[in-house]
Amino acid sequence: QVQLVESGGGLVQPGGSLRLSCAASGRIWNIGTMGWYRQAPGKERELVADITSGGGTNYVNSVEGRFTISRDNANNTVALQMNSLKPEDTAVYYCEARILLYSSTRYSIYWGQGTQVTVSS
Protein backbone atom coordinates (compact mmCIF):
# COMPACT_ATOMS: atom_id res chain seq x y z
CA GLN A 1 0.00 0.00 0.00
CA VAL A 2 2.93 2.31 0.69
CA GLN A 3 6.33 2.51 -0.94
CA LEU A 4 9.36 4.47 0.20
CA VAL A 5 11.92 4.70 -2.59
CA GLU A 6 15.41 6.01 -1.82
CA SER A 7 18.02 7.31 -4.21
CA GLY A 8 21.34 9.11 -4.13
CA GLY A 9 23.76 6.73 -2.44
CA GLY A 10 27.18 5.88 -3.81
CA LEU A 11 30.92 6.08 -3.34
CA VAL A 12 32.50 9.36 -2.31
CA GLN A 13 35.92 10.44 -1.05
CA PRO A 14 36.37 11.73 2.49
CA GLY A 15 35.34 15.36 2.68
CA GLY A 16 32.89 14.95 -0.18
CA SER A 17 29.12 15.35 -0.32
CA LEU A 18 26.11 13.26 -1.19
CA ARG A 19 22.40 13.95 -1.21
CA LEU A 20 19.92 11.19 -0.39
CA SER A 21 16.28 11.45 -1.40
CA CYS A 22 13.24 9.42 -0.42
CA ALA A 23 9.78 9.55 -1.97
CA ALA A 24 6.68 8.06 -0.38
CA SER A 25 3.79 6.88 -2.52
CA GLY A 26 0.52 5.05 -2.02
CA ARG A 27 -2.83 5.72 -0.41
CA ILE A 28 -1.38 8.28 1.97
CA TRP A 29 -3.61 10.58 4.01
CA ASN A 30 -0.88 12.18 6.09
CA ILE A 31 2.79 11.75 6.97
CA GLY A 32 4.13 12.49 10.42
CA THR A 33 7.79 12.40 11.34
CA MET A 34 10.20 11.28 8.60
CA GLY A 35 13.73 10.21 9.23
CA TRP A 36 16.97 8.68 8.05
CA TYR A 37 18.63 5.77 9.79
CA ARG A 38 21.86 3.97 8.99
CA GLN A 39 23.38 0.60 9.69
CA ALA A 40 27.07 -0.13 9.35
CA PRO A 41 28.39 -3.72 9.15
CA GLY A 42 28.32 -5.36 12.56
CA LYS A 43 26.48 -2.47 14.17
CA GLU A 44 22.90 -1.75 15.13
CA ARG A 45 20.71 0.55 13.07
CA GLU A 46 20.87 4.09 14.41
CA LEU A 47 18.88 7.26 13.88
CA VAL A 48 20.81 9.83 11.86
CA ALA A 49 18.23 12.61 11.65
CA ASP A 50 14.50 13.13 11.67
CA ILE A 51 12.09 15.91 10.87
CA THR A 52 8.52 16.53 11.97
CA SER A 53 5.74 17.61 9.65
CA GLY A 54 6.20 21.11 11.02
CA GLY A 55 9.89 21.16 10.19
CA GLY A 56 11.42 20.48 13.58
CA THR A 57 14.69 18.58 13.23
CA ASN A 58 16.81 16.27 15.34
CA TYR A 59 20.33 14.97 14.60
CA VAL A 60 22.64 12.41 16.12
CA ASN A 61 25.68 14.19 17.59
CA SER A 62 28.12 12.65 15.13
CA VAL A 63 26.49 14.34 12.10
CA GLU A 64 25.46 17.66 13.68
CA GLY A 65 26.70 20.54 11.52
CA ARG A 66 27.54 18.27 8.57
CA PHE A 67 24.18 16.77 7.58
CA THR A 68 20.92 18.59 6.87
CA ILE A 69 17.51 16.94 6.69
CA SER A 70 14.64 18.55 4.80
CA ARG A 71 11.20 17.58 3.53
CA ASP A 72 8.63 18.58 0.96
CA ASN A 73 5.20 17.90 2.41
CA ALA A 74 3.39 18.56 -0.87
CA ASN A 75 5.37 15.83 -2.63
CA ASN A 76 5.84 13.43 0.31
CA THR A 77 9.61 13.52 0.07
CA VAL A 78 12.47 13.77 2.52
CA ALA A 79 16.11 14.46 1.74
CA LEU A 80 19.41 14.23 3.57
CA GLN A 81 22.24 16.50 2.45
CA MET A 82 25.50 15.04 3.68
CA ASN A 83 28.62 17.22 3.64
CA SER A 84 32.16 16.70 4.94
CA LEU A 85 31.66 12.97 4.80
CA LYS A 86 33.92 10.72 6.84
CA PRO A 87 34.79 7.03 6.46
CA GLU A 88 32.78 6.34 9.61
CA ASP A 89 29.65 7.55 7.78
CA THR A 90 29.85 4.44 5.60
CA ALA A 91 26.64 2.47 6.03
CA VAL A 92 23.36 1.49 4.42
CA TYR A 93 21.01 4.43 4.86
CA TYR A 94 17.28 3.84 5.31
CA CYS A 95 14.37 6.21 4.97
CA GLU A 96 11.60 5.87 7.55
CA ALA A 97 8.21 7.52 7.78
CA ARG A 98 5.16 7.44 10.03
CA ILE A 99 2.21 7.33 7.69
CA LEU A 100 -1.53 7.49 8.08
CA LEU A 101 -3.35 5.73 5.28
CA TYR A 102 -6.80 6.62 3.98
CA SER A 103 -8.02 3.25 5.26
CA SER A 104 -6.51 3.56 8.72
CA THR A 105 -7.12 5.38 11.99
CA ARG A 106 -3.55 5.32 13.25
CA TYR A 107 -0.04 5.98 11.96
CA SER A 108 2.20 3.07 11.00
CA ILE A 109 5.97 2.99 10.41
CA TYR A 110 7.26 2.26 6.92
CA TRP A 111 10.83 1.74 5.70
CA GLY A 112 12.64 2.13 2.43
CA GLN A 113 14.84 -0.58 0.97
CA GLY A 114 18.09 1.14 1.88
CA THR A 115 20.85 2.78 -0.13
CA GLN A 116 24.58 2.20 0.30
CA VAL A 117 26.85 5.11 1.17
CA THR A 118 30.57 4.39 1.06
CA VAL A 119 33.14 7.00 2.06
CA SER A 120 36.61 5.93 1.01
CA SER A 121 39.68 7.20 -0.75
Rg for the chain, CA atoms, rounded: 14
45 touches 111 (CB < 8 A): no
pLDDT in tens, 16-53: 999 999 999 999 999 999 999 999 999 999 999 999 99
pLDDT in tens, 52-94: 999 999 999 999 999 999 999 999 999 999 999 999 999 999 9
DSSP class of 121: -
DSSP class of 59: E
